[in-house]
Structures are given as structure tokens and as C-alpha cells.
A and B are shown apart, each in its own frame.
Chain A
Amino acid sequence: MTATLSALVPIVVDPVPWARAQMAFTLAFHIILVPLGVSWAFMTLIANYRGLRRNDRDALVLAQRWSKYMAVTFAVGAVTGTVLSFEFGLLWPRFMGRWGEAFGVPFAFEGLFFFTEAIFIAVYIFGWRRLKPWAHFWTGVPIVLAGIFGSISVVAANAWMNAPSGFTLDSNGNVVQVDPMQVIFNDSMPWQAAHMVVAAYLVGGFLIASVYAVGMLRGRRDRYHYLGVVIAFSVASVATPIQIGIGDGLARWVYENQPVKFAAIELVPTTSSDVPETLLGHLNEDGQVTGGVPIPGLASWLSDPSTGKETVVKGLDSVPADQRPTIRQTNIVHLAWDVMVGLGSLLFLLAIWYALSWIFRRRMPQSRWFLRAAAVAGVAAVITMEAGWVVTEVGRQPWIVYNHMKVEDAVTANTGVWITFFAVVILYALVGTTTILVLRGMSRRFREAGGLTELDTPYGPTALATVSAKAEEAEG
């Protein structure tokens, strides 16, 4: 039977690049939904709190609508997350077979938090009308906590791939003893987990603020849109400087513990001191740096300010060629790094603009230029996060478990992965497009809510929202 199948498929396709592409694609898709799952509930609760505490109807309507949108993004996140748990086995069975007993431990805890999140999100979304207002508010709090601890658990597993610890191997290289605490709290985990959780708040904040900034640019300068921008943008603005601090610490951790990844980030072919920070540029086929703008000594100085330019940075040549990223991978890592730092810095400037306006004028910036920048910031934040994730994943190559197992030794033997790759891309493209269309449709219907019957909109506004929209109409 197998023979007939391979006769049908004339070329046996190497599964490695396809498995990597599929994993990268599904993770890149899922990671966009993560900030919404983690931080949107927090922003919704801010609006909910304000609505209840100050009897602010606009804030309450905002919280309600956000919770309805969250139902859609959470559902898509839940299924794309479930797919990832299939893919660990389908794409990387030999990795799971050998390391599952260690790598799997953080996921056991993640399952716990995801379950809690799913339960309370259902209660919160559907509890608007019949639960007491404050009781309903409190059912939202576990969503926020479970989101934070859930993402910490997942990132702990990824951090373990970068800093594997908490296990003992026998002479054949099999895992014979596991210390779960050491697996979860591996050396890379505190930095990576903090970086991802804060990223979730940063990206979620900028992304949601951008939607309402677009609304304001289109002339919907009502209090509802104003609140949408202020709540989300404030969260993002607080997160941005914190994120830069954590990122700096994480980079130094990588310098000390994953020198080859650091060499790829900073484009350092040979070990030396006085290493320049090269903006853009790339390695050519001979492995030499070409192009770009070198800032003399800065990479050395940033790596360890106490020794300044004298700091020695290990180069790619510090390990044999089969234990470091290829030249192409190095260039991807370096470019992704530049994108992350560059866009992150621009977002930081935007946050400062916003903060200064609050400090000196006691209100958010009113100019169209700020709104335009805020509108772009949403997509920019997503790109920044994706770039950061590329740095950490591609920078680890060729290892799947750093210094213990290579990607090529982990992959499935199934040569049909290229087919599932295309199936997944097509399906996800449809799901992604439809998610956006459905969210837009919901938004349009919320806006037209004045003339709408409840039966049309399962996830639509409740009586209160309808009343408020009518009130808005009457005022306008």
C-alpha cells in the first residue's frame, strides 16, 4: 500500500522544510490571536469598571462590545491552539518521543489555565444580562489571570528549548529523570515569559487602539471611540518602556547563554572585541558583513557596558558550521532583529508623544497626525512581535533543543507534509479573512444598532447598547 502511494507521488519530498514552514505559519497565525486573548480581557475590565463605578454608559457599551468580539477571536485562537497540539506530534514526533516527558510538563499547566480561561470567558460573555453587574465584573478577573499564566506556561516550554534543563540522560541519551520545577523554571523562562506577556499587552493595546483611531479619522469622534483609543493606547504606552527594559535584559541573557544566536543577531562572523552595531546589512556568501550602517563598538558596549568597547563578542565561527544558523538564516535573524528594534523604538516615541500630551494638556493628542500614527501602530506592533519571535526561533537553528537535538532529527518521516502545509495555508487564509470580515460586520451592525432587532444578532448589542445608540442618534 505504501509502495502504491509513493508511486502516485513521484518525488519523495523532504519533510524538513515543509514541516518547519507549517509550524512557522501556524504559530505566526496563532501568535496574533494571543495578545487579544491575553490583554483584551484586561482592557475590557477597565471599561467595565469605569462603566459601573462612574455610571458611564459609553464605557459599559464598549466593554460589552469588546467581550462579543473577544468571543470570536477567542474561538479562533482556541482552535488554532488546538491545531498546535496536534502538530507537535504530527510534525515533530521524534522530538516529542524523546523529550515529551520534559517539554510536555509546562503544557500540562497551560492546559489548566486555558481551561479556566475558557470557562470564565463563557460566563463573562454570556453573563451580561442576567448576572448582577459587579458579580459579572468579577467573573472577568480570572480570564485576565489565566491568560497571563497560560502564556507564561507556553513560553516556559519554548524557553526550555533554548535553555534545556531539569533532566538526566543515560548513556544512550534517553531521558531517565525529570525535575519538573527545573524544567518550568529554566534559565531562559523568566526573561522570555516576561517579554511575551508584556508583548501581549503592548500589541493588544496598539492593535485595538488602532481600530478606534481609524474610526476617529473617519469622523466618528464620539466619546465611545475616544474611550476605545484612550483605554487601549494607555495600556500599550505603559507596556512599551517596560518591554524595552525586558528586551535589553533578555538580549544580555542571550549574549551570555546563546552566543551563537547573539552572533546572528548582531551579525558577528568572527569572535572579536570592539564589535560594531550594524544597522541592516547582511552576510555575503563568504560570510563577510556587507552593506548596512555600522556604529563602531556599540554592540560590544551594549553587551556589557562595564567593559565597554573591550567586551568580546563570540562570532558565528566559535562553533562548527553544522552547529550554527546558515548564512541565510543569520540574515533573517539580523533583519528581524532590526525590524523589531526599529519599530519598537518608533512605538516608544509614539507612547512618549501620548504621555507628554496627558502630562501637559491633560488629554490625548488631538491632531490627525497622531491618529494616523496610532492607526498604523496596530499593524506595526504585530510586525514587531512577529519579528521578535523570528529572532528567537530562527536564531536557535539548527537546534530544536539547544545543543541537544537538531531540527532535522526531530521531524516526521511522513513525506506528505507538503500537502498538509498547503491545506493548512488555504484553510487558515480563509479563517483569517473571514475573522476580519465577521468582526467588521459585527462592528457595522453595532453602529447601525438603532434599527436592529435582537434576533438578527446572536452576538449583537443588548438592550442597553441599543438604548444608548438610540440616545446617541437623538443627540446627534
Chain B
Amino acid sequence: MSTVVAVVLLLAVVAYAVFGGADFGAGFWDLIAGGPERGEHPRDTIEHSIGPVWEANHVWLIFVFVILWTSFPEAYASITLTLFVPLTIAALGIVLRGASFAFRKGVVTVGSRRIFGAAFAASSVLVPYCMGAIAGGIASGRVPAGGKAGDPVQSWINLTSVVGGVLAVAAVGYLAAVYLVWDARRLGDGEMVEYFRRRAVVAAGLVGIIGFIGIFVLRADAPYLFSGLTSRGLPAVILGILCGVGALVLLVRNAHRGARVLAIVAVASVIVSWGVAQWPYVLPESLTFAAAASPTGSLTAVLVVVGLAAVIVVPGFAMLYVLHQRGLLPDEGVEDQPAVARTTG
């Protein structure tokens, strides 16, 4: 039963990366879009695309925490004790990001919009970096079992964490750029299609390069993870590489619909390969999922909630997504854009 919950946990992490990650990535492109005039057009596209959906995505992270503390409390205690600093930075970054995004929509003057915009964009980069660094710290076996604290500094400032953090930023940037190509095309905005397509290609290349460097880092710094990736995790790694390359080819060829699907599968594969590679450990080489697992009653409750989520939340989420994609949930002030999409799309 603990295996099933572990799979659910991994899926929740994948969902957070794929849905929430794209929000963070959009913030990254917002950050580097340039001055207020040059960056206005891409920023408008970004704002439009994440408008209605963004609030829902924190829920994936909450699910990850809830599953972890209800099903594997000892691991949760060890992680929060050891990785106190990056988790705190991520929490504060999430507040700053969410609040400033909402505020930016509530204020009018260019000056105050820029302040909130900058806070939004900077925290959008900081949070995925911390998340990646946390993943690196766990994956490289730096979090000890037994609800004890590991090294408060080296657990997240180490080579694997740096690779994890940079990879997370690049991957969410890549995902977001691919989504934004799709959104811009839906809005019939050819200039932005090209703008984000170029960035998606660059980001894809960066993810590939970081991944390549990461192989050597992991071999030296996280041998258990490395051996897992090159054995039981290998199919997922290969799938990720194939989809990543495939998405790149489709992007270059302007086949956006396929590129989006392949990009999602590529990022999901990377995370799945991480989970498979460190199996059966929740904290590599010190605590297995089975040993950390809560009593059956708690695990059953978690699985019941997952079942209910499949019945209630998934259709709701699908409805939100479809309504949004059809332009039935227009952001105020973008009256004309969906109309354009209707005539061209």
C-alpha cells in the first residue's frame, strides 16, 4: 500500500512541475522580457495566459506536503528539519509571487505595476531554484532518517542541488515558453508565436546541456541516484530524451500542438526517472518508503482522497481548462483578443 501512495506522491510532484512549473516559467520570461516598453507585449501575453488558472496550481504543492506528512511523516520531519533554509525561501517566494501577481492586476500606474511585476518575476525564478535544490539535497542522500536534521547548509548548497535548481529553472522556462507559443497562436499573435518559439528552442537546448553536465555531477556526487538512473530509471530517461528532442524538432518545424504534448511528457519523464531511480528510498540509502509509511488507516484515507479527487477535482480542472482554452473566461480588458482567435483559429 505504501508503494501505491509513493506513486501518488510522485504523480503529485509531476503535476506540480507540469502545471505550477509553467506558471513559474512564465514569470521567468516576464523577468527577462526587457524594459517596460520592449517587454510590454510579451508581458501582456504572459499575463493573459496565466490569468484564471494560476491560483489552482498551489494546490499541487499542498497535496505533495499533505501526502508526505500524512503517509511518510518521519521523512517529512527530516526534510523540513534539514532543508529549513531553502524551504523558507520558497515559502516566502510563493507569498511574494502570488500576492504581487494579484496586486499587479489591481493597480493601474506603470510605476507600481513595475514594482509588483519585478517582485513577481524575481520570486518566480527563486522558488523553482529552491525546489530543484531541495530535490537535489534529497536525491543525493543528504537528508538523514529518523526525523533528524542533516547539515543545514551543505544539504542544499552542493553540486547536485545546484544542478537540480538550475535544471528546474530551465525546465519550467522551457515548459512555459512552449505553452506561451500555443497561447499566442490561439490569440492569433504571430509576433509572439515567433518570440516564444525562439525562446523555447533556446531553453530546450539549455535543459539538454544542463542534463548532460548533470550526468557527470550525479556520478560523482549522488552515486545511488546515478546507478538508479542508469538501470531501473533508464526507460524514463530515454523517453525524456526522445520526447525532448522530438519537441525540439517539432518546435523548429512550427508544429506546436505536438510540441506541447512532447514537452510535457519530457519534463514528466525526468521527474518520474528521479522517483524511480531513488526507489525504494524516500530518503536515499537511509529510509525506505515502506519503513517510513504510516499505519494502514492513514494511507487508506489518503487514497480515498485521491479517489475523490479523481471524481471531483479532475473533471472540474478539465472544465476550467477547456473553458479557458475556448476563451469563455476572458480576462477583463482583453475583449478583442478571443474574438481575433475565433476568426483566425
Q: Name A's B-contacting residues (CB within 8 A).
A: 1-2, 5, 68, 71-72, 74-76, 78-83, 85-90, 93-94, 96-105, 107-112, 114-116, 118-123, 125-127, 129-131, 142, 166-167, 175-180, 412-414, 416, 420, 423-424, 427-428, 431, 434-435, 438-439, 441-442, 445, 454-460, 462
Cβ contacts under 8 Å, A167 to chain B = 295
Chain B interface residue count, CB cutoff 8 Å, equals 79
Cβ–Cβ contact A462 & B332, under 8 A: yes
Cβ contacts under 8 Å, A123 to chain B = 52, 319-320, 323, 329
* B259 CB to nearest chain A CB (Å): 26
- Of the candidates A81, A83, A97, the one whose C-beta lies within 8 Å of that of B76 is A97
* A258 CB to nearest chain B CB (Å): 25
Report the bound CA distance from A351 to B74 in whole Å.
Answer: 50
Interface-facing stretch out of B58-66, B166-174, B210-218, B241-249: B58-66
Q: Does B107 contact A (CB under 8 A)?
A: yes
Report the bound CA distance from A153 to B308 in whole Å.
Answer: 15
Cβ contacts under 8 Å, A176 to chain B = 295
Cβ contacts under 8 Å, A83 to chain B = 91-92, 94-95
Interface-facing stretch out of B188-196, B264-272, B276-284, B309-317: B309-317
Residue on A nearest B105 in the bound complex, by CB:
A458
Report the bound CA distance from A458 to B332 in whole Å.
Answer: 5
Residue on B nearest A110 in the bound complex, by CB:
B66
* B344 CB to nearest chain A CB (Å): 18
Report the bound CA distance from A175 to B335 in whole Å.
Answer: 57
Contact with A along B45-67 (1 / 0, CB 8 A): 00100011101101101110111
Q: Does B300 contact A (CB under 8 A)?
A: yes
Cβ contacts under 8 Å, B65 to chain A = 85-86, 88-89
Known: A83-B91, A89-B80. A104 touches B329 (CB 8 A): no
Cβ–Cβ contact A414 & B77, under 8 A: no
Cβ–Cβ contact A2 & B81, under 8 A: no
Q: Name B's A-contacting residues (CB within 8 A).
A: 47, 51-53, 55-56, 58-59, 61-63, 65-67, 69-71, 73-74, 76-81, 84-85, 87-88, 90-92, 94-99, 101-103, 105-108, 147, 149, 151-154, 294-298, 300-302, 304-305, 308-309, 312-313, 316-317, 319-320, 323-324, 327-333, 335
Residue on B nearest A105 in the bound complex, by CB:
B301
- Of the candidates A5, A78, A434, A462, the one whose C-beta lies within 8 Å of that of B152 is A5
Residue on B nearest A131 in the bound complex, by CB:
B328
Known: A90-B91, A97-B73, A104-B70. A434 touches B52 (CB 8 A): no
Report the bound CA distance from A87 to B65 in whole Å.
Answer: 11
Cβ–Cβ contact B106 & A442, under 8 A: yes
- Of the candidates B73, B108, B312, the one whose C-beta lies within 8 Å of that of A456 is B108
Known: A94-B77, A423-B88, A431-B95. 16 other contacts (CB 8 A): A75-B102, A79-B58, A86-B80, A93-B78, A97-B74, A101-B297, A107-B66, A118-B56, A122-B52, A126-B52, A127-B329, A167-B295, A414-B81, A434-B103, A438-B103, A460-B333
Cβ–Cβ contact A100 & B302, under 8 A: no
Cβ–Cβ contact A100 & B69, under 8 A: yes
Cβ contacts under 8 Å, A457 to chain B = 108, 332-333
Query: How many A-B contacts are there with CB distance less than 8 Å?
Result: 270
Residue on B nearest A452 in the bound complex, by CB:
B108
Residue on B nearest A166 in the bound complex, by CB:
B297
Cβ contacts under 8 Å, A112 to chain B = 305, 308-309, 312-313
Kindly name the residue among B59, B147, B297 whose own CB sees the greatest number of chain A CB atoms within 10 A: B297
Report the bound CA distance from A228 to B95 in whole Å.
Answer: 30
- Of the candidates B102, B301, B329, the one whose C-beta lies within 8 Å of that of A180 is B301
Cβ–Cβ contact A86 & B147, under 8 A: no
Cβ contacts under 8 Å, A98 to chain B = 73, 77, 147
Cβ contacts under 8 Å, B102 to chain A = 71-72, 75-76, 438
Report the bound CA distance from A122 to B343 in whole Å.
Answer: 26
Cβ contacts under 8 Å, B52 to chain A = 122-123, 125-126
Cβ contacts under 8 Å, B154 to chain A = 1
Cβ contacts under 8 Å, B329 to chain A = 122-123, 126-127, 130
* A409 CB to nearest chain B CB (Å): 12
Cβ–Cβ contact B297 & A82, under 8 A: no
Cβ contacts under 8 Å, B77 to chain A = 89, 93-94, 96-98, 100
Query: Can you show 15 pairs from A to B with CB atoms below 8 A apart?
Result: A72-B102, A83-B91, A89-B69, A90-B91, A100-B69, A105-B70, A108-B67, A114-B59, A125-B52, A176-B295, A177-B295, A178-B298, A180-B304, A424-B92, A458-B333
Cβ–Cβ contact B70 & A108, under 8 A: yes
Cβ contacts under 8 Å, A414 to chain B = 81, 84, 149, 152
Cβ contacts under 8 Å, A81 to chain B = 62
Cβ contacts under 8 Å, B92 to chain A = 83, 423-424, 427
Cβ contacts under 8 Å, B63 to chain A = 111, 115
Cβ–Cβ contact A438 & B153, under 8 A: no
